[in-house]
Structure 1
Amino acid sequence: RPGLPVRLIAGLLYLKHAYDLSDEAVCERWLENPYWQFFTGEVVFQTRFPCDPSSLTRWRQRLGEAGMEELLAHTINTAHAMKAVDARALSRVIVDTTVQEKAIAHPTDSRLLEVARKKLVRLAKRHGIALRQTYARQGPALSRKAGRDAHARQFKRMRQVLRRQRTLLGRVLRDLQRKL
């Protein structure tokens, strides 16, 4: 069986990333879109899949990250040589992230207290200071409990848990201060 043309694979990978599609979806869209077929080097409208979707996965693994970057560099150089893009447009990239979701964890009191406790314990361990108790099991459990209570809208119970977390943090802090 002959190998797949590089132009076909490079075009499919480019279209996959440009339209944020899965391997299966890019093959299905290629089948119904004559512009995509022409972009990947076909001159006659095709009615069969260009390749098995798993072939795209294998090509991507074979190319690796460096190969994909080289492919992108060749695309940019070709666009520059054809005068489709001028050098000024390539000097600065403007990314509009207004629509992208941000994976930011909101700083809840419980999480902040737990992070502070962990950092104090790590600091003590790094400097060879033995603490009486680190609350390694109780701290994360209380953090989870506070989250559950907040979700269940049991704010009185949640405040009790936060008070307990502040107590544990204070104990670790005072223990560390005593030993310094």
Structure 2
Amino acid sequence: MFTCPATDDFFRARIDQMIDLRHPLAVLASRMPWQEIEAGVAHRFVRKAHEGEAMPDLDLFGEKPPRPARASKAGRPRVPLRIMISLLYLKHAFNESDEGVVERWADTPRWQFFSGQSYYEDRQPCDATTLVKFRKLLGEEGVEELLAQTINTAVELKLIKPQELSRVIVDSGGNQALIATDQRLQRDALGRTKGQI
């Protein structure tokens, strides 16, 4: 048995061999400035020290000597930032719930390609609650910035028309902040495209 020349893995075919690379989502994935987007968001995920006054570690016999810091191996590994950003975009673009977007991601090779995956994964990328926590860490301004960058890139590449941005997206949870965010993003994208035309 011989390996496929387009793959590094003996048993799996690459996603770019499975999908039509002319599809708008595949084109958008290859044209997005992913490194710039990740660099612009990465500072929000740096661990912050707790504020307060430092107290010595005391035990029954006086001060404890400080232990050297070690990296913890507890917990699951961090989900790559590009996958989280992609899930957020796909959630808004296809009007999915948090649960729906992670379930559909597992079944859709095109979505996995958009997220930077090389090989098809028949599993969810993360738990739906991880996406909720990601949005909270980003904050409203961070979510606006990410969605604006992806929408602007799609409009510049003529993958979506400015007229498609005129519809109002309503969050199923009734979150007024996200509704306002979507409306502001649509106005910004329409304003930029009208200035370019």
Q: TM-score, normalised by structure 2?
A: 0.41
Greater relative contact order: 1 or 2 (C-alpha under 8 angstroms, separation 6 or more)? 2
Structure with greater proportional helix content: 1
Q: TM-score, normalised by structure 1?
A: 0.45
